[in-house]
Every structure is written in C-alpha cells, then in structure tokens.
Chains A and B, each alone.
Chain A
C-alpha cells in the first residue's frame, strides 16, 4: 500500500496543518531532504485576522505583506468583501463566551436577532458586549477566543 510521493507529501502537509491547529504555533516550516532530488520545503502559517501585520522594512512602495491563509481551511472568499460581514467597532481583545468555561455566545449556524450579544471585546478592563447589527444566521466566525482586534477587523459573517 505504497502511497505515491505526492500523496505522502500531501499527507505530510495535512499533518503539519493539524499540528498548527492543535498548538499555539502561528507558523511551522520544515525542510526535508531524503535525497539529491527528493527535497521538500513546507511552510504552514496561521492567518491572524487582526493587527499586527509586519511591514517590509525599507520598501515604502510595497503594501504590507499579509500572512498566508492556514492550510486545510477550504478556499474562502475574502471576508472583507462579504456583504454579511460584521466588523469590529472598537479595539481590544475578543472573547467568544461570557466567562471562561461558559458556552460561547453564538455558534456557526445559530440564528441571531438584532441586538443579541455575539461576542465580547475587552478594553481597559471593561467588557463590551458586541451586538448583532441585524438579524441573521451566523455563517462564519472569523476570530479566535482571546485574539486582539483593531477597529474594522472582521468578526463574523451574518447571512
């Protein structure tokens, strides 16, 4: 049951992506040399949806380099183009549930009413409940619990 080299490579990349998801790492790079003409270099990285985005030093005309999307996530449309996007009205740290250990405010698939709390953003030790701006169904949650967000950062997609 020998896999072809490509199948092995794909399995290897999937394994790396899984490892990334399971841990707190944001990037894994592996360089593997099995022979003179059997070299594989793989890099998987997690896209952080909020600042900081590193800027290339000394290249003022180039836009800021974005981190590549995590491997294994199905090719998704750019969330900032989605009409259902709910963007962050403030700066702070996102929490998806009221308290550590409690269930999250919303899950993908939930139907929410206008004004219903979808998540909390903490700033200056104050918890700010972020309401759904309109009724809808939660299609995607774009932030992770405990991640920093800037003004305008994509939070969720509401259909």
Chain B
C-alpha cells in the first residue's frame, strides 16, 4: 500500500481524497497555489507544498511542479481527482516515468477515451450501443451534409477533442449545417487546438444516464449501477440521483453488464463512468470519463462503498473489495451541487464566507471544504459543496433533501441553494419526469 499520496487537486475533492487516505493510514501531501494556502484540505494534510501562483495553468496544471513536489516529499502515488490533469495522458506518462503511481487508468486508456471518435469506435467494437452518426471524423461540409442526410436531422456537430459538454453545435435542418459545421470547427480549434469534428444524431428528449464501472486492471470488472444526471445547465450537471427514476433492475443489469464486460475486455484499471443518452428505452453511448466523477457520492450511498479507497487499493495492486454479486443497491440517493453563484443569472460570487453551517442528521452527507471565515478565491470553478442525501425510497430522499437544504447556511456569498428549493416544489422533479432539456427550459420560463 502507498505510504504517501500527493493530492493533485483542490477544493472539495481534495478533501475527499485526503479523508480516504487517512482512513487507510496513508500520509497525504497537499499541493496548492498561493490562493489556496488556507484551504481546508491543505490545513488537514500531513504535508503541504505551494506549487505556484493562482492561475491553474501555473499551479494545478503545472506538471513539472507537481512532479517536483512528489520528489521533495517522497510521495509514491498521485491522486488527480477530477478535472485538471485527471484525464491528461501525457501527465500520466510522465508520472509513471518518474516511478510514481498514478491512481487511475493507464495513459493508453485515457488517450483512447479522450478522443471521442476512437472512444466511440472502441465502444462500438465492444458491443456498447452508440448514437447513430458519422463513421469517424468529418472533414468537409459536403461530407457533413451527406452524413446528416443519411442519419436524419437534427444533427449535432461535435469536436473530437471536446467533452464535458463543450465543443458542440446543433443543426436542426439542412439549412443550419453550414453554420454549425464551420463554427464548430473554428471553436474546436480555439478551445482544444484540434478542429476535427464528427456528427451524431440529435436526440429530442433523452435523459443522461451514466454507468459507474470499476476495473482491477487485470480483466476483472464490475458495474455499480446508474446515475441519472439529466438536470443540467449549459451541459453542467446540477442535480444527480441514483438509481434513475426510469431504470428498473432488469435494465440496470443488462446495460451494466455490457459496460463492465467492455472495460474488462480492455483490462481497464480503476474507476470510470460510461455516459449514455437514454431515450425510448434505448441507450446511446456518448462518452467515457476515465476518472472519478463529481457525483460519485450518490453511488457510494446506495452501494455502501468508498470509491476513492477502491481506486487507491486497485492502483496499489490489491483486488477490488467487492464482486458483482456483492453490489446490491439499497435505497435512493440525491446530490445537489452548491455553487457560489448569484441567481437568477448564475454570476460567480466569490468572497468571504462569514458563517457556514452544514446540514446533518441521518442520511445527510455534505462534501465541502468551506468553513467560517474562508474566502472563496475567484480563480477556479464555483463549486463549493455537494449536498447528498440517502433514504430508503425516492420520496423519503426528496423529503430529506428539502429538510437538509433548509438547514444549510452559507452567509457572505450568494449560492445556488434557492434553485434546489424551487426544484423540489416542481411536480416533474417530484415524479422524476425530466430530460436533459428540462432545467434550461424551466430556467427560461422562470426568469421571464
């Protein structure tokens, strides 16, 4: 087992990783920018190393300084969290070249799934159902028109190097294709340095359903069911639940097996999430995230597992703590992502938190690194905490969530907490009847 893990991240997930390590008797090293010198995980970690000024490009994305921090502290493994360098295959390669263990899949698998076209081809080859679309990249407008005509409008033009909801342009009809195609390419070039695009059929009213998978790196793999993350604003998830209100045990077992078989075949190591659009009973693969996801706690709640500890175990060469038969879901869990943003416009609201009170009680988990007097730096994303509730049924979870939200106090800055109060009053949310368009359509109506 590792003696010392360097946490190459910040905020709530860095604290999450620190907690998992401490329970396993592992020393932690917190790397941080100057802006995060007073972050909670930095204060709690066994060692701390300042690695740069506030901008992420000069700190949390600075490969040499992260490696140097490992060298001077003697860390034998790095946990990358999510975002930042967690899906950077080059970083993984450099880490491994320095004799440090990367807690995650191999550089090759990260590279495979990082390219959306090869990911789709790989999944198709492994029997995972995919969205009808172009066969690989589309180089010219003519080709795009042809492919779109054969799969049928509406069609999305997607950047190969994109992901996480970025780099996509919709063409509702043939007349839109030229604009969609050319702007998608130029934006992709600007954002990702790569203007390659592919086409996919646009699904009218799908849900976003993702399957948590886990591999031991030796051909063994399990699935930990689904999460329904349909409620999104600008492709950012806001509210997630497990299980999905529309997936039954039989469907779960079937799609879960397809996913775990797929990653077993490639000898995938560690945690991963296979994301689908789900419409009219059919699953359509969109992408695979080769890392821990923000919303992993809802899966942990219903399966009673510690996914971060499992990542560490497998990276250290141990077997997974569970077999597929051990994984029986229990109850219902919901997560709300609390952002430091001012409603109704969602403007970022950094600043000093005068008073913070976290909700508690049975079945309530607050994953957050904020505290009384903490100043939220303006340089990073606005996620300040995740409120997760778990109860025996979905209705009980909703009641618990309403109660827990009413206890949450974050004074001094604006947060998106009122959004969740409002959502809980909506019949569609209470019944679990929503698609990936629901939230934006609701927000458009509400802010009129």
Q: Which residues on A are within 8 Å of B, measured CB to CB?
A: 50-55, 57, 60-61, 63-64, 90-93, 123-124, 126, 148-153
> Which of A64, A126, A153 interacts with B43 by CB under 8 Å?
A64
Interface residues of B (CB under 8 A from A): 29, 34, 40, 42-53, 59, 64-65, 67-69, 71-73, 98, 371-372
Report whether B71 and A150 are in contact in the complex, using a CB–CB cutoff of 8 Å.
Answer: no
**Contact sample, A vs B, 15 pairs, CB 8 Å cutoff:** A51-B48, A51-B50, A54-B46, A60-B40, A90-B64, A124-B67, A124-B68, A124-B98, A148-B72, A148-B73, A151-B34, A151-B50, A151-B51, A151-B65, A152-B34
Interface residue from A55, A57, A124, A148 paired with B64 (Cβ < 8 Å): A124
Q: How far is the CB of B23 from chain A (nearest CB, A)?
A: 13
Is B43 touching A55 in the complex (CB atoms < 8 A)? yes
Q: With A and B bound together, what is the CA distance between A151 and B47 in angstroms?
A: 14
* Distance A123 CA – B66 CA, assembled complex (angstroms): 10
Interface centre among A52, A64, A148, A153 (most CB of B within 10 A): A52
Contacting residues, chain B, for A123 (C-beta < 8 A): 64-65, 67-68, 71
Closest to A62 in B: B43
Query: Do residues A92 and B52 form an inter-chain contact, with CB atoms below 8 A?
Result: no
Known: A60-B44, A123-B68, A124-B64. A152 touches B50 (CB 8 A): yes
Complex CA–CA separation, A26 to B29 (angstroms):
20
Beta-carbon contact of B50 and A124 below 8 Å? no
A124 — which chain B residues lie within 8 A by C-beta?
A: 64, 67-68, 71, 98
Given contacts A124-B64, A150-B50, A151-B52, 9 further A-B contacts (CB under 8 A): A50-B72, A51-B48, A55-B42, A91-B52, A91-B68, A149-B72, A150-B48, A150-B69, A151-B34
A151 to B37 Cα, complex, angstroms: 11
User: Which chain A residues lie closer than 8 Å to B42 at the CB level?
Assistant: 55
A30 CA / B40 CA spacing, docked (Å): 35
CB atoms of B71 and A53 under 8 A apart:
no
Distance of B311 from chain A, by nearest CB (Å): 24
Which 10 A-B pairs rank lowest in CB-CB distance, beginning with the nearest? Answer: A52-B47, A148-B72, A123-B68, A91-B68, A150-B50, A91-B65, A51-B49, A150-B49, A92-B68, A151-B50
Partner of B49, one of A63, A91, A93: A91
Given contacts A91-B65, A151-B65, are A64 and B72 in contact (CB under 8 A)? no
Q: Shortest Cβ distance from B370 into chain A, in angstroms?
A: 11
Chain B nearest CB: distance from A155 CB in Å?
14
Q: How far is the CA of A52 from the CA of B49 in the complex (A)?
A: 7
- Return chain B residues, CB-CB under 8 Å to A91: 49-52, 64-65, 68-69, 72
Give the residues in chain B near A63, CB-CB below 8 Å: 43
Residues of A within 8 A of B43 (CB): 55, 60, 63-64
- Whether B65 contacts A93 by the Cβ 8 Å rule is no
Chain B, residue nearest A54 (CB):
B46
Chain A residues, CB < 8 A from B372: 61
Q: Given A51-B73, A151-B34, is A64 in contact with B48 using a C-beta cutoff of 8 Å?
A: yes
Among A50, A64, A91, chain B packs the most CB atoms within 10 A around the CB of A91
Among B42, B69, B72, residue most surrounded by chain A Cβ atoms (within 10 Å) = B72
Whole-angstrom CA separation of A157 from B253 in the bound complex? 66
Cα A61 to Cα B45 with chains together (Å): 14
Q: A90's contact among B47, B68, B98, by CB below 8 Å, is which? A: B68
How many angstroms between the C-alpha atoms of A64 and B50 in the bound complex?
14
Residues of B near A50 (CB, < 8 A) are: 72
Query: Who on chain B is nearest to A57 by CB?
Result: B44
One of B48, B59, B65 near A55 (C-beta < 8 A): B48
Residues of A within 8 A of B69 (CB): 91, 150
Q: A140 CB to closest chain B CB, in angstroms?
A: 21
Asked whether B72 lies within 8 Å of A92 as measured between CB atoms, the reply is: yes
Q: Hey, which chain A residues are within 8 Å of B65, CB to CB?
A: 90-91, 123, 151
Alpha-carbon separation in the docked complex, A20 to B18 (Å): 34
Chain B residues with Cβ below 8 Å from A151 are: 34, 49-53, 59, 65
Do B64 and A52 touch (CB < 8 A)?
Answer: no
* CB nearest to B27 among chain A residues: A52
Q: Which of B42, B44, B68 has the most CB of A within 10 A?
A: B68
Q: Shortest Cβ distance from A76 into chain B, in angstroms?
A: 22
- Bound complex: CA of A150 vs CA of B32, how far in Å? 10
Report how far A151 CA is from B42 CA in the complex, Å.
15
Query: Which residue of chain A is the closest to B62 with respect to CB atoms?
Result: A91
B371 contacts across to A, CB distance below 8 A? 60-61
Contact B40 A150 (CB under 8 A): no
Chain A residue nearest to B63 in the complex (CB): A124
A50 to B73, CA, bound (A): 11
CA of A63 to CA of B51 in the docked complex: distance in angstroms? 19
Is there an interface contact between A93 and B72, defined as CB atoms closer than 8 Å? yes
A52 x B44 contact (CB < 8 A): no
A55: chain B residues at CB < 8 Å are: 42-46, 48
* CB-defined contacts of B71 to chain A, threshold 8 Å: 92-93, 123-124
Q: How far is the CB of A122 from chain B (nearest CB, A)?
A: 8
Give CA–CA (A148, B50) in the complex, Å.
12
When distances are taken between beta carbons in the complex, the residues of chain B under 8 Å from A90 are: 64-65, 68
User: How far does the alpha carbon of A46 sit from the alpha carbon of B42 in the complex, in Å?
Assistant: 23
- Min Cβ gap A119→B in Å is 15
Least CB distance, B414 to chain A, in whole angstroms = 24
